[in-house]
């Protein structure tokens, strides 16, 4: 069981992901439905696929409507006030990094709960954190950003292992979760700040 305070941060992360999806839709000149859909799928797509993969049916979006409602509202807001939102670029990045940490921990913890092993659980964390953004990029006809540059999925991988290790060492759930979220959040933000990237192949 994840501690309750996670829930609030999870909704904040959902909102940040929805904004990133809706902003992408605005840039591609989609219409009101397209922008809303892109916001929603970016925010809840990763978690929905995760639930399908482990058999958590129906997926979380149908068990707690707050995720869908927040995604829709934020997407509609982005539709009307996208300039205001795009100007808060740094704030969005910080919220997105927070969401990435939360999504990773939730996914990893669900993997442990469903006994799919350590590698599988970390993979489920990566899925929760990154698959929504991948769908967003595919739908707007771009090679997914997460496959090309910046430190994004790799932050999830490190954070996922931290969570599992802390968990296995018998540390409290609150401590394990907080630690792992901070790890993902810090790696992501420091890598943006320092302009870190993963290596590219030598051609």
Q: Cα–Cα–Cα angle for 190, 192, 194, nearest 5°?
A: 65
Q: Whose CA is closest to 105, among 38, 40, 50, 41?
A: 50
Interacting residue with a copy of itself among 4, 55, 170, 193 (CB under 8 A): 55
Binding to a copy of itself by residue 48, rule CB under 8 A?
yes
Binding to a copy of itself by residue 197, rule CB under 8 A?
yes
Instruction: Tell me the two tokens of residue 195.
Output: 């302009």
Binding to a copy of itself by residue 3, rule CB under 8 A?
no
Residues 177/179/182/188 CA torsion (nearest 10 deg): -90
The CA-to-CA distance between both ends of the chain, in Å, stands at 47
Interacting residue with a copy of itself among 11, 110, 153, 164 (CB under 8 A): 153
Q: Scanning residues 162 to 191, which ones bind a copy of itself (CB under 8 A)?
A: none
Interacting residue with a copy of itself among 138, 172, 174, 175 (CB under 8 A): 138
Q: Whose CA is closest to 154, among 106, 110, 107, 188?
A: 188
Cβ-contact 122, 184 below 8 angstroms: no
CA pair distance 112, 161, nearest whole angstrom: 12
Smallest distance, a copy of itself to C-beta of residue 166, A: 22
Interacting residue with a copy of itself among 9, 17, 37, 103 (CB under 8 A): 37
Cβ-contact 120, 172 below 8 angstroms: no
Binding to a copy of itself by residue 143, rule CB under 8 A?
yes
Residues of this chain that bind a copy of itself (CB under 8 A): 25-26, 28-35, 37-38, 48, 52-55, 57-59, 61-62, 65, 68-69, 79-80, 82, 114, 116-117, 119-120, 123, 134, 138-144, 146-149, 152-154, 197-201, 203
């Amino acid at each position: 069981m994840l501690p309750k305070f996670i829930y609030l941060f999870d909704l904040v992360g959902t909102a940040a992901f929805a904004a990133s999806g809706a902003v992408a839709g605005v840039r591609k000149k989609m219409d009101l439905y397209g922008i809303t859909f892109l916001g929603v799928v970016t925010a809840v797509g990763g978690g929905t696929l995760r639930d399908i993969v482990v058999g958590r049916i129906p997926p979380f979006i149908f068990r707690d409507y707050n995720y869908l409602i927040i995604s829709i509202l934020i997407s509609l807001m982005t539709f009307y006030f996208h300039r205001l939102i795009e100007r808060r670029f740094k704030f969005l990045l910080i919220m997105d990094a927070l969401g990435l940490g939360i999504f990773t921990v939730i996914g990893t913890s669900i993997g442990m709960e469903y006994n799919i092993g350590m590698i599988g659980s970390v993979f489920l964390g990566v899925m929760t954190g990154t698959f929504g953004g991948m769908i967003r990029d595919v739908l707007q006809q771009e090679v997914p950003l997460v496959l090309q540059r910046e430190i994004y999925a790799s932050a999830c991988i490190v954070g996922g292992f931290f969570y599992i290790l802390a968990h296995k060492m018998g540390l409290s759930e609150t401590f394990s979760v907080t630690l792992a979220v901070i790890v993902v959040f810090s790696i992501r933000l420091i890598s943006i700040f320092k302009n870190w990237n993963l290596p590219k192949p030598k051609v």
